[in-house]
Amino acid sequence: MSVLICGSLAYDTIMAFPDRFQNHILPSQIHILNVSFLVPELRREMGGCAGNIAYNLHLLGGMPLIMATVGQDFRPYAEWLDQCGINRRHIRTMDNTYTAQAFITTDQGGNQITLFHPGAMSFSHENCIEEAKDVKLGILSPDGRQGMMEHARQFQEANIPFMFDPGQGLPMFDGQDITRFLDLATWAIFNDYEAKLSQERTGLSLESMSDRVEALIVTHGAQGSSICTQGKCLKIPPAPVREAIDPTGCGDAFRGGLLYGLSKGMPWETSGHLASLMGAIKVEHPGTQNHKTTLEEIHKRFHSAFGFDF
């Protein structure tokens, strides 16, 4: 079963500053800030929520279809997707734009300065859900505002069940928008902060939000996750992590596991445990698409961690 993944594809330029920002900023001069940080460590990663989710779904043997808009600099990413065997027929290149990209600098204290250029992502509304054929399931992940709103409506009109995943895009929407997304979606997923922000903006309790969808998933980082469905709330434990290296992209790995479970008709409890394991595998590696594993290894780790099979 093909899974349509609507969302961003982006380059992440990640830099490490071998000191603390605070040692180079004068608080009394913050109003005329003009600083430069030397960053001897730099790496460029393939990222974006749609790309990350697709990568993890593909590791499980799923069939991801990415729907996204990219810029004229997309060739290296395209070659990476081809190398991975991920279908890109619904990725549209926009002329005279750059692919979305984030520039992230982290100091020794874990503080970050991030600049994000949306680029071609702002044209995501030029893609249309009906262009994707033989799709039985989808996810609406962070993308351009207009694109997210139109794609939610198009998913519903095409009778394609989909998961609403606002992620970093949540600040773009007010309470009325969020309620509308919930009414259109089949399932919804938030991290704990996003769930609280959504409650504040909509005025709805978590229980009321879950009543609007078939399942509401909330992730709690290292504390696991919860899945509220059919009037009950399942508590999903975190999977054991061999060594925590980089949490970036763990949420997308989790979503890849959930979508695989949904595409295979697994019970929510099984899908949740698999999602938890995919997040754990990701956290053991730097970047968002650098972890490599086989389905056989995933099965072994799943049984070892939880005592049953999927």
Q: Which residues are paired to 156 by β-bridges?
A: none
- The answer to whether residue 159 sits within a structural domain is yes
- The answer to whether residue 34 sits within a structural domain is no
Residue 302: band (very low, low, confident or very high) from pLDDT cuts 50, 70, 90: very high
- For residue 143, is pLDDT > 80? yes
**Is the separation of the CB atoms in 273 and 264 below 8 Å?**
no
**pLDDT score, position 1:** 77
- The answer to whether residue 144 sits within a structural domain is yes
Residue 228: band (very low, low, confident or very high) from pLDDT cuts 50, 70, 90: very high
- The answer to whether residue 28 sits within a structural domain is no
Q: How far apart are the first and last CA of the chain?
A: 17
Rounded CA-CA distance 97/15 in Å is 24
- The answer to whether residue 43 sits within a structural domain is no
Q: 96-135: per-residue pLDDT in tens? A: 999 999 999 988 987 889 899 999 999 999 999 999 988 9
**pLDDT score, position 33:** 87
Rounded CA-CA distance 208/28 in Å is 47
- The answer to whether residue 210 sits within a structural domain is yes
- The answer to whether residue 109 sits within a structural domain is no
Question: Kind of pairing, strands 63-70 and 135-140?
Answer: unpaired
Helix (H) or strand (E) holding 178: helix 175-184
Q: Print burial letters for 240-275: b (CB count within 10 Å at least 16), e (below 16).
A: ebeeeebebbbbbbbbbbbbbbbbeebebbbbbbbb
Rounded CA-CA distance 96/252 in Å is 29
Rounded CA-CA distance 60/293 in Å is 9
Rounded CA-CA distance 87/248 in Å is 24
SS3 state at 55? helix
Could you please report the per-residue DSSP string of 200-249? Answer: HHH---HHHHHHTSSEEEEE-GGG-EEEEETTEEEEEPPPP-S-----TT
CATH of the domain at 239: 3.40.1190.20
Q: Looking at the 3D structure of the chain, how many domains does it have? A: 1
Q: What percent of the chain has pLDDT over 70?
A: 100
Q: Which amino acid is at 264?
A: K
Q: Which domain holds residue 192?
A: 2-9+48-100+120-306
Q: 106-116: per-residue pLDDT in tens? A: 889 878 898 99
Stretch 160-168: mean pLDDT, rounded?
Answer: 96
- Global confidence as pTM: 0.94
Instruction: For residue 67, give the nearest of 25, 130, 21, 20 by alpha carbon.
Output: 130
- Which strands, in side-by-side order, build the sheet including 187-191? 87-93, 63-70, 2-6, 135-140, 162-164, 187-191, 215-219, 225-229, 232-236
User: What's the mean per-residue pLDDT of the chain?
Assistant: 95
